[in-house]
A and B are shown apart, each in its own frame.
Chain A
Amino acid sequence: MPKWTGPELAKPSDDRVGRFLQHLEPLKAALEAYCRRSVHDPNAVEDVLQEAVGKAYRDFHLYAEGTNFRAWIFRYLNLEIYAGNRAFRRERREALDEEPTIEEVWQHAIGEPFIERLLNEPERILSRCDDALAEAILELSPQERSVLLLRAIGQFKHREMADILDVPMGTIMSALSRARVRLRLRLAEYARERGLLGPGSLQRPR
């Protein structure tokens, strides 16, 4: 386990530590889950969390009590995840040459018979697609992955996600839409290949 590499921390006062921990405690599970689902290198989870928490604590004097600590610390975590994934050299290109519009992707999605079957029995299929779900999430662009997970795990609103990712609200909405469609398409494809979508699912030409 590498040592914390940030600047030396000032000797903490009990009050500062206590307040920070008080804010952090209820968020540990969500921070960890978000980190585990976001990093390409599963061995990097602890290091990424360590860097994020260390930097957030270093800057805790900048946090205004009574404001949104949850969004504040997720921003630190997100930056560390991006840095860690870049280091792992597996990030895909952020922007595609021609991003489909929200309307286009939904029209495409609702036209897929296999998507419909997926939507009819999501729990049964998802329970057998955990690896595929994890892979599908990692195949999203960093921004799409972030908004999808911030929404699903952190239950963040669009405005909060825009603050965390430092992008406009419109970008959040379009990224979330694209992420949802791509996730469904990927899961439907996976389920079809394994015959999880019912009779006839294996006969569809590729």
Chain B
Amino acid sequence: MNCDQVRQRWELYYDSEGDSELYLQINEHIAACPSCAKWMFQQAQFEEAVTATLAASEPTAAMWQRVLSETGVARPAATRGWSFFGPFLALAASLLLFVGIWQFAPQQPAEHLSELAAVAHQQLIDKNRQVEFNSASDTEVEQYLKQRVSFPVRCPPRQDAGFEVRGGGVCSIAGDSAAYVVGQVEDKDVSIFILPAERLARFTHERDVLSREAVHHCRDGQYDMVLAKIDHNIVVVIGRGSPDRLERVVRAYGTYPHDPA
């Protein structure tokens, strides 16, 4: 094999696509030809540099979560089960916590409440999750939610806060139940997610920022959101409304006369 033949076949050699005879002949040639040996080294060096530049980095977790959720590939959420098995699951969860089995659970990577809220809001917008209870009455929605969750919830914000309630229900966020209220702010769909305050410990990022700020603004994809710890709840207001309007809604949560029922 001469120099031209070696250089014409270098890709088969480099890509490990040639037969054993090819390797033998090229190896013999470059052992005796410093010029071709250098040339082959240069080709390989360049291709490896290109490969390293193009190499895959870490996948974008939030995007993949949305992709899997939207395509129905994500593991089935626990929300459907809650409507029927809710009381039993709650009892089972309480027992598990009581005996301390949770301590043996494997460590999970840190989760971001904002990302999970964005996914849940998108599911509501796309009607992938049906709103359980439809009502334009804030008091009716409040009563419904109080029957559905074991943690305290307050009356949703009203029209005087710029929020037009449309309904509510219970969904699963990070495997645990959360109440949600759907409605509109300036004709744009907005969701409010309500979790028990103690759940904040699970979301270390949000826990840290809410230890420094009373109200936290952030954005995930196309949605703005405002988070706050209010009374016994973590409240996330998310949608395409202006951040100021969303903050007004979050600040209105829990300001109405509390109905002890």
List residues of A whose CB falls within 8 A of some B CB.
Answer: 1, 3-4, 9, 12, 14, 17-18, 20-21, 24, 28-34, 37, 45-46, 49-50, 53-54, 57, 102-103, 106, 110, 116, 118-120, 122-123, 126-127, 130, 133, 149, 151-153, 157-158, 173, 176-177, 180, 183-184
A180 surroundings in chain B (CB, below 8 A): 11, 47
B39 surroundings in chain A (CB, below 8 A): 110
B58 surroundings in chain A (CB, below 8 A): 29
With contact pairs A119-B45, A180-B11 given, residues A21 and B57 touching in the complex (Cβ less than 8 Å) = no
In the complex the two chains form, what is the Cα distance from A105 to B221 in whole Å? 44
Instruction: Indicate if the CB atoms of B75 and A28 lie closer than 8 Å.
Output: no
With contact pairs A46-B67, A49-B67, A157-B17 given, residues A29 and B72 touching in the complex (Cβ less than 8 Å) = no
Give 5 new A-B contacts, CB below 8 A, not counting A29-B57, A152-B51.
A21-B68, A32-B64, A119-B42, A122-B49, A152-B50
B122 surroundings in chain A (CB, below 8 A): 1
One of A20, A32, A173 near B73 (C-beta < 8 A): A20
Instruction: Indicate if the CB atoms of B49 and A21 lie closer than 8 Å.
Output: no
B54 surroundings in chain A (CB, below 8 A): 33, 37, 133, 149, 152-153
- Chain B contact residues: helix, strand, loop or mixed: helix
A14 surroundings in chain B (CB, below 8 A): 75-76
List residues of B whose CB falls within 8 A of some A CB.
Answer: 7-8, 11-12, 15-17, 39, 42-43, 45-47, 49-60, 63-64, 66-68, 70-76, 122, 126, 128, 221-222
Q: Please provide the 8 A-B residue pairs with the shortest distance between their CB atoms, ordered closest to farther.
A: A54-B71, A33-B56, A122-B49, A28-B59, A29-B56, A119-B42, A9-B72, A122-B46
